[in-house]
Structure 1
Amino acid sequence: MKQRSFILFFLCLIFPVYIIRAQQKNVFVVKANEVKATIEPTMWGVFFEDINQGADGGLYAELVKNRSFEFDVPMMGWREIKKDGADGSYLITNKGVSSTANTRYIRLESLSGKGYGISNEGFRGMGIKKDNGYDFSVWARQVNGGSVSLLIELAGPDGSRLGSATLKPEGAEWKKYTVSFKSVATEAKAHLELLLDGKGAIDLDMISLFPKDTWKQRAGGLRADMVQLLADMKPGFVRFPGGCIVEGRTLDERFQWKKTIGPAEDRELIINRWNVEFKHRLTPDYFQSFGLGFFEYFQLCEDIGAEPLPILNCGMACQFNTAEVVALDQLDPYIQDALDLIEFANGPVNSTWGKKRAEMGHPEPFNMKMLGVGNENWGSQYIDRLKLFTKAIKEKYPEIKLVNSSGTDPDGDRFDYLNTQLREMKADIIDEHYYRPPQWFLDNVKRYDSYDRKGPKIFAGEYAAQSVRTGSPDNKNNWQCALSEAAFMTGLERNADVVTMASYAPLFAHAEGWQWTPDLIWVDNLRSYGTANYQVQKLFSVNRGSVVVPLLINNEPAAGQKGLYGAASIDRKTNELILKVVNAAENPQDAEFITEGFRGKKGTMTELSSGKLELVNSFEVPLAVGPVQKPVQVRSGKLVVSLKPWSVNVIRVKM
């Protein structure tokens, strides 16, 4: 009797728990046989801008800063060396108008025979790896019939020698010299020393040092670990080269693609507009050498299987700075630059610019399909200039899709004016930007549900949740921001018939050279890692389906009910159902997926989660938020899973 009473008492305790759990189960309906939209291959991509030391000192693997003495302060990054009482002098010479791209060189003169020279600090130091090879090159000539040798040394902060080589220029004519050597140790803060051996003088220019282990081992190429992080995302496109550097603080400082191609020594260095933009992060040594130029951008896109999306200046400097514009009747050279770029990318080898592409080693066209005109420009002056660009480009290249700016914000007077004007112009693609708090992304998951399906397509060109406020140096790439972005991205994918492209921004940041936070990928001189935001972007990109199908809760799109957000697609190449589900709630939730028009059994579930919204990835713990995969199984047409609190989940089931 006592035992029976105890059992009844126990059942009375636990039975309500089962009722509550049954009530808490969230039932999703997947209509796998009801295609709502095609997902473009360009759906998830990346946006590169040379901010945060993204190109020089970052993706571009050159280790020497100010290699041709073209910075405003010619010796910035360099210092004089006098070892063991050595004596000598240096002189910076300006060639004048004879060379607009590379006007300066240095003359070193040794009076003591040995120990005199110069040292380069690199970009916050030089990251050197043990047993890696390094390629040194320099343009040089002897002075006054001299016979001086050049000792090249890599040194650590304590003066220890990491690697060295010697070369001896011959004659009084400029010539390029190269030599390679290996490092005997790993050092994040190395520097380069150039010492004269023998009395006399020597002229030097374009002093360069590259690691051998660049991406695809290309001489003078890109930093391999950074490109690999991009390749791992399998992005559908790369937008380049910005961003605000396209506009420049003034029109003289704008990005001009023709000055970024051809031999490196012929590319004209200019100041980077982020050099003086933020008082809290002044970066007086931030310039653009354009070693990473338009040819290299196109090549990078080809390497990682991404569509190129170049952005060109529309005749307007940054409106936050000078708001300088070129007169409408003087706009032709800007428009011609756009037409010539299309020819450079796509033209035959017997065309003017197609020939230049071929001369750089790529006779085949890059097959560019899209072009951006202007970046975050606004007002009637933008529309006036855009109309002239559009007319000229469409007349000659009607197949090229044009990307147009909707300004700096996703709402307000600027946005409303541009959105109206661009739709009246029947724009191909409208570029919308949002740097907002995490809650904004959760609140705007349905943003595109009501957009005109017959109007322009949307490019979510720049977005990132701001943990503190827009532009704050205290913003963090924490899990709360990444989680909110993931929820928003389900809304983008669900509306793939309107939104055809999306990219987080900015892309790269150097731990000691940044101006803006948050950023997708962080690097130092030797290491790199993807943030929690990167892990979200990668998870969505590598799990891009072919078509969208409905994912419903209570016969409505899964867009925030009980903190749940989702999107469903079919991958027709692999014949799989893909479910992307975000649990933005602080409690675990059971989810039951009922599949209509679909038969499947086994699959996988990849999960990103953290019990701490403030958690960030780091150099020390790069996968604090990282993917965890486990098997799942469909039984009787139903899939039941448990969603962790604050989690992003991708489920793939074979059909």
Structure 2
Amino acid sequence: MQRMTNVLRLLCLVVCLGLLQACADSYSRPLKAEVGGEAAAEHVYKVDASDAVAEIQPTMYGIFFEDINFAADGGIYAEMIKNRSFEFDEPMMGWEQPESNRFSMNENSGFAMPVKANPDEANKNFLRVDVKAENGYRLTNSGYRGMGIREGSQYNLSLMARVMEGDVSLNVMLKDSTGQELGRTTVSLSGSDWNKYESAITANGTAMKGHVEIAFEGTGTVDLDMVSMFPADTWKNRPQGLRKDLVQLLADLDPGFLRFPGGCIVEGRTLDRRYQWKKTVGDIENRFTLINRWNTEFDHRPTPDYFQSFGLGFFEYFQLSEDLGAEPLPILSCGMACQFNTAQLVPMDELDPYVQDALDLIEFANGPVSSEWGKLRADMGHPEPFNMKYIGIGNEQWGPEYIKRYKEFEKAIKSQYPDMIIVSGSGPYPDGEMFDYGMAELKKLNAEIIDEHYYRNPEWFLENADRYDKYDRNGPKIFAGEYAAQSVAIASPDNKNNWNCALSEAAFMTGLERNAEVVQLTSYAPLFAHADGWQWTPDLIWFNNLEAYGTPNYYVQKLFSTNRGTHVLELTDESQAITGQEGMYATAAKDEEAKELIFKVVNVNNAEQAITFDVSGVNGLQRKGKKLVLHSDNMQQVNSFENPKQLSPSEEEIKVKGDQFEVSVAPHSLTVFRVGYKDLVN
């Protein structure tokens, strides 16, 4: 019994000594936490601020714009009247003749009939209205899923009209969804020639889904065309301009470039319905209307009333780029319709007009006012060139037919404009047979910039943060032209702009920035979505007729773009780049203009992580820095109209001592640290 007791005592002593040694070891080395672990871990991240890996191009973070989800008409283009010129395939789409019009005191009150006067011209239709009964006839326009009307705001009306017989005036009213009047103006018409009439209405109430009503006073026959209504308070107060709140959200991103007009919209389902930039410039009333290629693309969101008026055309895109301080990056058809639809090909011996469109676009953007297209730009109000540096040939094309056509564009463009940077494409996917073929062929051609697209699940983005670590530094540069994590599946209507997707994109973006030597342009896609008119999810910015908000993905983009830096630095943990080890992703940069170091850290763990930044190559860090945090413990968290900034960055001060500083990063977070320095070590 005594012997057994001694044995037990000895065993207890051994266990206790082991526990004491384990505790001692825990103080001598950092804890290592696996992804999803609950224990906080310590990391030492080293950086030499004097040794830049590569320049970060001003174009590193930009904007992809496509007219999908009612992004242009009904969105950023502030026109409130749908089908203002009666040019939709159904000329009365958007317009209604209420039943109360049909009979008044058993008399026919009037009738409106579209007239096709110029079938070969852009403005081929107008509306003829026969008013039979005094104060008896009305027309309404519903706008784009209603009209946003704000109390106290001014709305500018313009229209073209002529009086064929009789004496008729118009009472134009803003009304809410119940029919309550929110303001009106009267337009007196005269003369049998086309005249432009302008007036204004100040709203005395607010409506999310209002409409315009035109009441005809008198009797006679009147022709109407280009019936238009814009808020007076547009971006930069331009008449018939852009929706101010939506452009402000873009400006807040500080984008390096604006890619336009898409996207698959460039290609069209057929070649006849491709985007043709020359039909989008000049006088607004002479721009051709075209059905939008997304109108019935998805069975889950058919939008047969989705057309393009091109009030937002190539001139306005260039102007918007200039406003944002962003490089314009237009994408042109290469003679291939969407390969997911008809896959029509223009024969090679008929490709010249397509190539000429590219050459003429360069002249429109950059040519002197003495040139044909430079003169048009000047006539539109911009005699100075737009200084376009980039042009994209094709959108998501693939295969030998694309390579053949790309060669012809490249040869023609470089022969006249050798300094123009041409963007090519690697197809719709980031891997597979289409991608491999395109990349191999474009490398043979010494392509300058190749556009890659990736719509994948969040896990793919986490696993591919090191994608560009392996790319050839002497090969083509990369444009990460379209990316967005899909919470469900590509093109699913159930995709959400949740924090899980946004955080995975942030992790992936650390790899884009770390490889700035290769990756020179990046953009999330798509950009905009109308709450009642979308076709595709997820999207960066959501809006309705009165409001807009940025998603968690938007704030990820904003944190990267507004904390870009000028040079990427090598940041290591135990001599390795931080590409997902232990659930951590990070990159470092310096801003030589601001004299600041910038660290972006993504933590996908369930636990807080402690980091010591060990900085060399500087003669002293500033004693105070800044910490910007985007964080949520709810991976399904989204923003909404009710709570538009529920997930948005917070800011706090950090303290710095010497050339090291210790910080913590929250679980499931993107954190940006900015610390000033006095000088770099030469």
TM-score norm. by structure 1 comes to 0.96
SS of equivalent to 2:97: strand
Give 1:434's aligned residue.
Answer: 454
CA shift for structure 1 position 96: 3.6
Structure 1 CA distance, aligned partners of 2:226 and 2:61?
A: 38
The CA distance in 1 between the partners of 2:429 and 2:112, in whole Å, is 51
Residue among 637, 646, 649 paired with 2:659: 637
CA deviation vs aligned residue, 1:343-400 (integer Å, no higher than 9, x gap): 0000011110000000000000000000000000011000010000000000000111
Q: 2:27 aligns with which of 19, 26, 50?
A: 19
Does the C-alpha gap of structure 1 residues 41 and 117 become closer, same or farther in structure 2, counting only changes over 3 Å? Answer: same
Alignment of 1:415-494 (within 5 A): 415-494=435-514
Deviations 1:78-104 (A, max 9, x none): 11134693711111111143x520111
What residue number does 2:34 align with? none
CA contact (8 A) 1:549 1:570 kept: yes
Aligned to 1:603, the other structure's residue is in SS state strand
Residue of structure 1 in register with 2:104 after alignment:
85
Aligned CA RMSD, in angstroms, stands at 1.6
CA distance in 2, matches of 1:498, 1:13: 48
SS in 2 for 1:42: coil
In the alignment, structure 1 residue 35 sits paired with structure 2 residue 43: no
2:65 is matched with which residue? 48
Q: In structure 1, the residue corresponding to 2:655 is in which secondary structure?
A: strand
Q: Is residue 123 from structure 1 mapped to residue 131 from structure 2 by the alignment?
A: no
Rounded Cα–Cα distance in structure 1 between residues aligned with 2:237 and 2:28: 60
SS in structure 1 at match of 2:470: coil
Aligned to 1:114, the other structure's residue is in SS state: coil
Query: Is 1:578 matched up with 2:590?
Result: no
Q: Specify the SS of the correspondent of 1:467.
A: coil
User: Shift of the alpha carbon at 1:19?
Assistant: 3.4
The one-letter amino acid of 1:643's match is V
How far has the Cα of 1:157 moved from its partner?
A: 1.3
Aligned to 1:363: 383
Instruction: Determine the C-alpha separation between the residues in 2 that align with 1:33 and 1:218.
Output: 46
Q: 2:327 aligns with which of 307, 310, 316?
A: 307
After TM superposition, give the deviation of residue 14 of structure 1 in Å.
13
Q: Which secondary structure state, in structure 2, belongs to the residue aligned with residue 415 of structure 1?
A: helix
What does residue 366 of structure 2 align with?
Answer: 346
Aligned partners of 2:559 and 2:413: how far apart in 1? Answer: 36
CA distance in structure 1 between the partners assigned to 2:444 and 2:612 by the alignment: 45
> 1:17: how far off?
11
* Aligned partner letter, 1:628: S
Q: Match for 1:276 among 296, 313, 323?
A: 296
List runs of 5+ in structure 2 lacking aligned partners: 1-15, 32-40, 678-682
Query: Paired residue for 1:4?
Result: none
Contact 2:375/2:383, CA 8 A, preserved across alignment:
yes
Tell me the CA shift for residue 16 of structure 1.
7.2
SS in 2 for 1:635: coil
Is the CA contact (8 Å cut-off) linking 1:25 and 1:589 kept in structure 2?
A: yes
For 1:351 and 1:264, locate their aligned partners in 2 and report how far apart those are by CA, in whole Å: 22
Which one of 390, 393, 398 corresponds to residue 410 of structure 2? 390
Unaligned 5+ segments in structure 1 are 1-7
Distance 2:346 2:188 in 1: 49
Where 2:51 maps in the other structure, the secondary structure is coil
- Write the mapping of 1:522-537 to structure 2, written as runs, cut at 5 A: 522-537=542-557
CA distance in 2, matches of 1:20, 1:323: 64
Distance in 2 separating the partners of 1:280 and 1:368: 39
CA distance in 2 between counterparts of 1:423 and 1:585 reads 39
Match of 1:559 in 2: 579
2:245 match: 225
3-state secondary structure, aligned to 2:136:
strand
Give the aligned partner of residue 3 of structure 1.
none
Tell me the amino acid that sits aligned with residue 107 of structure 1: R
Distance 1:282 1:343 in 2: 38
CA contact (8 A) 1:108 1:117 kept: no
Q: Does 1:646 align with 2:646?
A: no
CA distance in 1, matches of 2:359, 2:503: 41
CA distance in 2, matches of 1:14, 1:548: 40
Q: What's the secondary structure of 1:190's corresponding residue?
A: strand
Code of the aligned partner of 2:672: V
Q: 1:604 aligns with which of 626, 637, 654?
A: 626
Correspondence for 2:80 = 63
Letter of the structure 1 residue corresponding to residue 96 of structure 2: R
Q: Deviations over 1:273-294 (max 9, x none)?
A: 0001001110000000000000
Higher CA-based Rg:
2
For structure 1, which segment, 439-448 or 627-636, has the greater mean C-alpha deviation from structure 2 after superposition?
A: 627-636
Deviations 1:46-71 (CA, angstroms, capped at 9, x unpaired): 10000000000001000000111111
Partners of 1:633 and 1:450 in 2: CA distance: 36
- TM-score normalised by structure 2 residue count: 0.93
Equivalent residue runs for 1:85-234 within 5 Å: 85=104, 87-97=109-119, 99-144=120-165, 146-234=166-254
Per-residue Cα deviation, 1:248-278 (whole angstroms, up to 9, x for no partner):
0000000000000011100000100000100
Distance 2:571 2:674 in 1: 14
Cα gap change, 1:631 to 1:531, in 2 (>3 Å): same
Runs of 4+ in 1 over 4 A off after TM superposition: 11-18
User: Paired residue for 1:497?
Assistant: 517
**Contact in 2 for aligned 1:45/1:236 (Cα 8 Å):** yes
Note if contact 2:110-2:136 (Cα within 8 Å) is conserved in structure 1: no
Q: Give the SS at the match of 2:646.
A: coil
In 1, Cα distance between the equivalents of 2:390 and 2:186?
Answer: 48
Residues 328-353 of structure 1: CA distance to partner in whole angstroms, max 9, x if unpaired?
00001000000000000000111100
Q: Which amino acid aligns with 1:529?
A: Y
Q: How many residues align?
A: 644
